[in-house]
């Protein structure tokens, strides 16, 4: 992806630069750039006449190499060159000429089946009709009906239908548009045809578990390995002398070519001979021009691959010798396969550890959900695969007469199961801790915010009060002013007493935050201590100031009683309004509809007190109105201010209006919370409805699987069919689990901590679902193992049913020694102590005192079955040896892969028969030794 971003960057650059030096390019920039797409999925469009396209070309080649280095799979791997692209070769039109001829011939080899052909590859595909016909012929499928019009948009529509079909087959066409094909762009057309060849002629080639280009190359190497002067290493220079083509033909049709008479220096003659014979006798049209191949330093890889793939398909039928060789390879690979199974078991056992990526409390719950949804399910499958791999390995070792596999210490299936159970318990405790911690943090943050609000309000009120209390203004005041100061101080004391409750609330909240281990408790404590110290200071200063004022009270004679009364009544009322505003703006935290309804009820009670409070407000304001009447009646200045308090009618009215405004807002907030709690209740009921259905469904499936495992009616294949149906139903039921997971996530995101409508939790459902998946997989594996044992041991279905019936009758959770003796007696065995001891050493070599069903079946099949398989291997070697009783080194190297051929050569003893040839090897002794029937 990064290379495409580089291309976009250079497309936006106003300075055209050289693709190698990144310096401004001078001179002629009109050279046409020939580009051979390297990503395997599509041809990349390069516009003629631009050095910038050369840079894009280099960048895409870099991207191809990047994909190769990262072991990418898909069509990209078919395009990887053994050598780096030569810059001059990319600009040389020789590759275009070779591809044009090869691709045209390849297309015509299919189009002739429909009675047509093409002459000019970029012209004849422009209207899209023959392109659609080509895709229908090679795929055997019908494409949408083409547009028969001759206008440009008709042609574009047809080409788009073909490109859409190619895309539907899993091929990504990057930057190939219908307009380029309709315009006859030869580079785009060749790139598109190459993509079609890759998808329909090369992609499915597979040799020894390789695919595509590697598989085709391996096939060529194996087929031409015995021939002198042939060394196929690639799809360009290895084919220039024509000998590789001749060797392929001679290997399959020796009657067509006398390879011994070929001259390795006659490149042109060899190529012409191979192409003519392929066209005349193998129905492979001439797709290459021998002169072009010889005269080109590096022939075009795409053209060679296309032509060689035709040989592969022509000789695709498996021959008897190859079949025999494959059988021998399979037998020789038993040990390698078993070792891989052992390594896989060890790897899976070592990886059985829980994930832990939670690095912050705010992300812990989300990370835990990701762990449960994303990371753990694959581990469940790995655990199941671990058990299946272990059972399959042991069965294969039994069948091939190999010793049983014993995992390293701590990695038995039972060890893994115990560790898994520990993981489950740890997960449950961790999830409970997460939810408890989130609930605690929610409470802490709520209290911290409440503390800050109340502390800020109190600090704002207390700001500057200590300075006012230390003033000595009474020393220079008149008698009237001193009396006013005293009355004002009384009003302050009233206000101070009203704030006592607020200070206690602040201290209580700070104490609770300490108990809840709030992370900023030190800051809270410091602030609370500051408030309390200031409060104590205010109390001391208040007392001192009163004493000072009382000492001078004797000098005071008059006072404005109305102002005093206003002050005394307005201060508590003002404090009440401030408290009401605090309460109306106070945050709340509820978890149920009932809790919200209780808050609404309390709020309704508060609203019922508003008329009484309004009456008090009117009474306080009437005092002030009386003052106004007196000032008017007696000619007192109307600018007099109340020296007893700072509260004015305007302040009272302003706060009263704010209280009235906050009341409906509080109504709205409470009802919004009520709606949210109703929604949470719906989430609870929705989850409960699904969980109450899923839980019993899982239990029912478990019971069905348990019944099927003990049902002896029908064949193992019938049981397998029934179990596969159960598995299909379980897989199809997975969306119900996913929906329940979605509802559970909504519940957790809404911080819903309980659900009274169901006894099932998500944890119950997860554990049940994982157990169901494990049980069905394990049961299917047991039946597969029984089928494998039955077929490998040569016993009938009825015999296996009899074995199971007898074992089940005496099995009580692991057949003990006495039960096993009774079982053998019931099957007609006359047992003495020595004979029974011998049998026990076979079925219980570890002396555990119990007999497993697999051990029982192995014993019975040895008693009744035919396990001779060495004869099959001997017969296969006889085919490779052309019915001789011995085989030669050259025959082994010709028919077997190099490593397995050398394996046989190094271990086969010399053939000692009178009819042997020099260097003859005894494959009979080697085959019997493979199965322990003889010693080498």
The residues near 319 (Cβ < 8 Å, ≥ 6 apart) are none
Question: What global pTM score does this model have?
Answer: 0.33
Check pLDDT > 90 for residue 231: yes
Please compute Rg for the chain using Cα positions: 46
Taking only the tens place, the pLDDT of each residue in 692-723 is 999 999 999 998 888 876 665 677 788 888 88
Quote the CA–CA distance of 220 and 235 in Å, as a whole number.
10
Check pLDDT > 70 for residue 13: no
Q: What is the mean pLDDT of residues 855-859?
A: 76
Quote the CA–CA distance of 59 and 175 in Å, as a whole number.
15
294: helix, strand or coil: helix
Q: Looking at 42-51, 567-576, 721-730, 837-846, which range is the least confident one?
A: 42-51
Q: What is the mean pLDDT of residues 618-647?
A: 72
Confidence of residue 16 (pLDDT cuts 50, 70, 90): very low
The crossing angle, in degrees rounded to 10, of helices 762-793 and 716-749 is: 160
921: helix, strand or coil: strand
Angle subtended at Cα 238 by Cα 232 and Cα 239, rounded to the nearest 5 degrees: 110
Neighbours of 310 (CB within 10 A): 19
Contact in structure between 221 and 209 (CB atoms under 8 Å): no
Check pLDDT > 70 for residue 21: no
Q: Structure tokens of 906?
A: 């190094």
Q: What is the mean pLDDT of residues 802-807?
A: 73
Task: Give pLDDT, residue 754.
Answer: 80
Task: Give pLDDT, residue 767.
Answer: 93
Q: Structure tokens of 269?
A: 């003659």
Quote the CA–CA distance of 658 and 646 in Å, as a whole number.
19
Contact in structure between 269 and 241 (CB atoms under 8 Å): no
Closest CA to 881 of 908, 918, 921, 909: 921
Phi, psi (rounded to 5 degrees) for 831: -105, 125
Quote the CA–CA distance of 526 and 658 in Å, as a whole number.
33
Under DSSP, the state recorded for 883 is T
Task: Give pLDDT, residue 477.
Answer: 59
Q: Structure tokens of 739?
A: 């929906």
Under DSSP, the state recorded for 637 is -
Q: What is the mean pLDDT of residues 348-363?
A: 41
**Alpha carbons within 13 A on the beta-carbon side of 891:** 20
The strand ranges marked E within 328-375 are none
DSSP string, 822-869: HHHHHTT----HHHHHHHHHHH-TT--SEE-HHHHHHHHHHHH-----
Contact in structure between 78 and 19 (CB atoms under 8 Å): no
Closest CA to 473 of 461, 464, 484: 484
Check pLDDT > 60 for residue 329: no
Residue with tokens 């009386």: 626
Sign for the CA dihedral angle at 75, 77, 83, 87 comes to positive
Q: Looking at 15-19, 150-154, 158-162, 430-434, which range is the least confident one?
A: 15-19
Closest CA to 82 of 56, 64, 97, 109: 64
What are the b/e assignments for 224-233, b being 16+ CB within 10 Å?
bbebeebebe
The crossing angle, in degrees rounded to 10, of helices 762-793 and 797-810 is: 130
- Polymer length in residues for the chain: 936
Q: Looking at 167-176, 378-387, 530-539, which range is the least confident one?
A: 378-387
Confidence of residue 749 (pLDDT cuts 50, 70, 90): confident
Quote the CA–CA distance of 431 and 162 in Å, as a whole number.
54
Q: Looking at 33-47, 554-568, 763-777, 787-801, which range is the least confident one?
A: 33-47
Higher pLDDT, 78 or 427: 427
Quote the CA–CA distance of 838 and 375 in Å, as a whole number.
49
Contact in structure between 39 and 63 (CB atoms under 8 Å): yes
Check pLDDT > 90 for residue 771: yes
The residues near 84 (Cβ < 8 Å, ≥ 6 apart) are none
Angle subtended at Cα 389 by Cα 387 and Cα 392, rounded to the nearest 5 degrees: 105
Distance of CA 51 to the CA centre of its chain: 42
What are the b/e assignments for 164-200, b being 16+ CB within 10 Å?
ebbeeeebebebbbbebbbeebbbbbbbbbbbbbbbb
Confidence of residue 104 (pLDDT cuts 50, 70, 90): very high
Highest mean pLDDT (candidates 553-557, 592-596, 906-910): 906-910
Task: Give pLDDT, residue 633.
Answer: 67
What are the b/e assignments for 679-689, b being 16+ CB within 10 Å?
ebbebbebbbe
- Mean pLDDT score of the chain, rounded to an integer? 75
Task: Give pLDDT, residue 692.
Answer: 93
Q: What percentage of the chain's residues is helix, strand, coil (to nearest 5)?
A: 70, 0, 30
Distance of CA 134 to the CA centre of its chain: 39
Quote the CA–CA distance of 228 and 860 in Å, as a whole number.
55
DSSP string, 369-423: HHIIIIIHHHHHHHHHHHHHHHHHHHHHHHHTTPPPP-PPTT-SHHHHHHHHHHH
Confidence of residue 725 (pLDDT cuts 50, 70, 90): very high
Contact in structure between 194 and 37 (CB atoms under 8 Å): yes
Q: What is the mean pLDDT of residues 236-254?
A: 92
Task: Give pLDDT, residue 47.
Answer: 32
Outline where 13-151 has alpha helix (H).
Answer: 51-69, 87-91, 94-111, 121-124, 129-139
Q: Looking at 184-198, 320-334, 588-602, which range is the least confident one?
A: 320-334
Highest mean pLDDT (candidates 75-84, 380-389, 514-523): 514-523
Check pLDDT > 70 for residue 336: no
Task: Calculate the alpha carbon distances from 140 to 114, 136, 137, 200 in Å.
Answer: 12, 5, 5, 11
910: helix, strand or coil: strand
Higher pLDDT, 466 or 554: 466
Taking only the tens place, the pLDDT of each residue in 248-299 is 999 988 999 999 999 989 999 999 999 999 999 988 998 888 988 898 888 9
Sign for the CA dihedral angle at 270, 274, 280, 284 comes to negative
Quote the CA–CA distance of 784 and 795 in Å, as a whole number.
15
Under DSSP, the state recorded for 554 is G
Neighbours of 252 (CB within 10 A): 15
Neighbours of 371 (CB within 10 A): 18
Distance of CA 66 to the CA centre of its chain: 23
Check pLDDT > 50 for residue 342: no
Contact in structure between 300 and 364 (CB atoms under 8 Å): no
Quote the CA–CA distance of 552 and 636 in Å, as a whole number.
26
Calculate what percentage of the chain has a pLDDT beyond 90: 15
The residues near 376 (Cβ < 8 Å, ≥ 6 apart) are 355
């Amino acid at each position: 992806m990064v290379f495409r971003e580089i291309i976009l960057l250079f497309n936006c650059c106003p300075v055209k630069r050289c693709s190698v030096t990144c310096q401004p390019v001078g001179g002629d920039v009109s050279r046409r750039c020939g580009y051979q797409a390297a990503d395997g999925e599509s041809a990349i469009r390069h516009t003629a006449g631009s050095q910038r396209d050369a840079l894009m070309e280099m960048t895409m080649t870099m991207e191809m190499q990047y994909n190769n280095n990262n072991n990418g799979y898909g069509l990209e791997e078919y395009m990887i060159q053994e050598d780096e692209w030569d810059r001059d070769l990319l600009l040389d039109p020789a590759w275009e000429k070779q591809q044009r001829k090869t691709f045209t011939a390849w297309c015509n080899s299919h189009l002739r089946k429909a009675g047509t052909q093409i002459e000019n590859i970029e012209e004849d595909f422009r209207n899209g009709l023959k392109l659609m016909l080509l895709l229908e012929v090679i795929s055997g499928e019908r494409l949408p009906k083409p547009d028969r019009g001759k206008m440009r948009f008709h042609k574009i529509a047809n080409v788009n239908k073909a490109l859409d079909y190619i895309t539907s087959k899993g091929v990504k066409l990057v930057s190939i548009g219908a307009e380029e094909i309709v315009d006859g762009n030869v580079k785009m057309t060749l790139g598109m045809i190459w993509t079609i060849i890759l998808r329909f002629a090369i992609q499915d080639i597979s040799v020894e578990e390789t695919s595509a280009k590697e598989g085709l190359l391996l096939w060529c190497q194996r087929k031409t390995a015995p021939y002198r002067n042939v060394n196929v290493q690639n799809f360009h220079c290895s084919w220039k002398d024509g000998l590789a083509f001749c060797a392929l033909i001679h290997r399959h049709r020796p009657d067509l070519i006398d390879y011994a008479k070929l001259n390795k220096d006659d490149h042109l003659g060899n190529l012409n001979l191979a192409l003519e014979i392929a066209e005349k006798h193998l129905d492979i049209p001439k797709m290459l021009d021998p002169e072009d191949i010889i005269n080109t330093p590096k022939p075009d890889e795409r053209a060679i691959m296309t032509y060689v793939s035709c040989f592969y398909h022509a000789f695709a039928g498996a021959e008897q010798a190859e079949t025999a060789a494959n059988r021998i390879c399979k037998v020789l690979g038993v040990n390698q396969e078993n070792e891989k199974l052992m390594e896989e078991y060890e790897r899976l056992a070592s990886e059985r550890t829980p994930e832990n990526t939670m690095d912050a409390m705010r992300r812990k719950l989300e990370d835990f959900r990701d762990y449960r949804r994303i990371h753990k399910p694959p581990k469940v499958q790995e655990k199941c695969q671990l058990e299946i791999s272990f059972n399959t390995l042991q069965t294969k070792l039994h069948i091939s007469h190999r010793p049983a596999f014993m995992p390293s210490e701590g990695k038995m299936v039972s060890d893994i199961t115990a560790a898994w159970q520990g993981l489950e318990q740890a997960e449950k405790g961790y999830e409970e801790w997460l939810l408890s911690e989130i609930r605690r943090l929610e409470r802490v943050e709520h209290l911290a915010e409440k503390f800050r609000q109340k502390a800020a309000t109190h600090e704002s009120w207390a700001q500057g009060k200590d300075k006012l209390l230390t003033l000595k203004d009474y020393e220079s005041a008149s008698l009237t002013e001193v009396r006013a100061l005293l009355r004002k101080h009384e009003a302050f004391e009233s206000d101070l007493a009203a704030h006592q409750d607020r200070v206690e609330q602040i201290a209580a909240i700070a104490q609770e935050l300490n108990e809840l281990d709030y992370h900023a408790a030190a800051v809270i404590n410091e602030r609370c201590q500051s408030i309390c110290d200031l409060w104590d200071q205010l109390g001391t200063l208040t007392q001192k100031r009163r004493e000072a004022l009382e000492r001078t009270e004797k000098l005071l004679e008059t006072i404005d009683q109305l102002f005093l009364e206003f002050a005394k009544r307005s201060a508590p009322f003002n404090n009440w309004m401030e408290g009401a505003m605090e309460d109306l703006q106070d945050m709340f935290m509820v978890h149920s509809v009932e809790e919200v309804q209780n808050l609404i009820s309390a709020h309704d009670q508060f609203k019922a007190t508003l008329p009484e409070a309004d009456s008090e407000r009117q009474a306080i304001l009437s005092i002030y109105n009386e003052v106004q009447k007196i000032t008017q009646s007696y000619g007192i200045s109307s600018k007099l201010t109340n020296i007893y308090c700072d509260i004015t009618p305007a302040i009272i009215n302003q706060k009263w209006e704010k209280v009235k405004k906050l009341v409906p807002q509080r109504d709205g907030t409470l009802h919004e919370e009520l709606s949210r709690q109703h929604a949470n209740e719906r989430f609870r009921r929705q989850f409960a409805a699904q969980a109450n259905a899923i839980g019993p469904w899982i239990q029912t499936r478990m019971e069905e699987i348990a019944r099927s495992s003990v049902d002896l009616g029908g064949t193992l294949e019938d049981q397998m069919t029934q179990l596969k149906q159960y598995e299909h139903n379980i897989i199809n039921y997975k969306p119900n689990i996913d929906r329940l997971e979605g509802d559970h996530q909504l519940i957790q995101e809404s911080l819903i901590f309980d659900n009274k409508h169901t006894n099932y939790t998500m944890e119950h459902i997860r554990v049940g679902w994982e157990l169901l998946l494990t049980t069905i997989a394990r049961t299917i594996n047991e039946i597969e193992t029984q089928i494998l044992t039955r077929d490998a041991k040569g016993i009938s279905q009825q015999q296996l049913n009899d074995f199971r019936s007898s074992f089940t009758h005496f099995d009580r959770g692991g057949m003990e020694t006495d039960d096993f003796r009774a079982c053998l007696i019931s099957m007609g065995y006359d047992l003495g102590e020595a004979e029974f001891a011998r049998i026990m050493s076979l079925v219980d070599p570890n002396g555990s005192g119990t007999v497993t069903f697999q051990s029982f079946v192995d014993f019975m099949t040895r008693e009744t079955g035919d396990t001779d398989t060495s004869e099959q291997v001997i017969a296969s070697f006889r085919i490779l040896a052309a019915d001789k009783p011995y085989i030669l080194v050259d025959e082994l190297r010709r028919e077997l892969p190099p490593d397995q051929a050398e394996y046989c050569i190094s271990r086969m003893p010399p053939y000692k028969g009178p009819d042997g040839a020099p260097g003859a090897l005894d494959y009979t002794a080697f085959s019997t030794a493979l199965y322990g029937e003889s010693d080498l």
